[in-house]
Amino acid sequence: MKIGILALQGTFIEHVHSIKKLGADTVEIRRPDELEGVDGIIIPGGESTTITHLMDYYGLVHPLKEMAQKGIPFLGTCAGMICMARSVGSPVNLQTLELMDIRVNRNAFGRQVASFEQALDIPVLGPRPFPGLFIRGPVIEDVGDGVEILARLENGTPIAARQGRLIATSFHPELMDDLRLHRYFLSLIG
């Protein structure tokens, strides 16, 4: 199994480490030809303005959309969620990949100093709470019919979702030791 990790900016090395710990191969993606033979794609956390700009610059937008259409699983964390969303509410309109039928709002929890960790109930990962790390993360404001909410904050705000083989989280599993979310992603392959 070979997982392509979009390595334009952000927490891609941390995703590489998480996937390698689970015994799968990784390839860092910066150019379209590097997508050859990849079984799954991860879009890391970082800055969605930068990542969307560089995806466009390096000609990755169309190839990535095609892979999602073929049923290749995707995992997007934080900025990666924004890149996968159908649309982005205020404060900035971004040209995303439009892979998932979700509308997100960027920086919904405030600035970097307002980062927080919260134990999350994510039923698909089992009964043990998952350590959710939020760093200027987005929230999901609206979802289409085919989208399953995987987790919510205590106030009901959706912060993780799945649509078929596409998964997006507002938080950063790649920055934690808990590998269950990456394992769940790998289970969608094949």
Task: Give the C-alpha separation, 158 to 110, whole Å.
Answer: 17
53 labelled catalytic: no
Query: Which is catalytic among the residues 14, 15, 83, 174?
Result: 174
172 labelled catalytic: yes
Task: Give the C-alpha separation, 160 to 20, whole Å.
Answer: 23
Closest CA to 6 of 93, 107, 87, 74: 74
Shortest Å distance, C-beta 176 to ligand GLN: 13
Shortest Å distance, C-beta 70 to ligand GLN: 26
Closer CB to ligand GLN, 87 or 107, in the complex: 107
Closer CB to ligand GLN, 44 or 73, in the complex: 44
Query: Which is catalytic among the residues 14, 15, 83, 172?
Result: 172
Task: Give the C-alpha separation, 55 to 41, whole Å.
Answer: 14
Closer CB to ligand GLN, 176 or 189, in the complex: 176
182: its two tokens: 């990456």
Q: What is the DSSP string of 25-64?
A: EEEEESSGGGGTT-SEEEE-SS-HHHHHHHHHHTT-HHHH
Closest CA to 48 of 152, 185, 175, 170: 170
Residue ranges in contact with ligand GLN by CB under 6 A: 45-48, 78-79, 82, 106-107, 135-137
Shortest Å distance, C-beta 82 to ligand GLN: 5
174 labelled catalytic: yes
Closer CB to ligand GLN, 13 or 23, in the complex: 13
Give the catalytic positions in this structure: 78, 172, 174
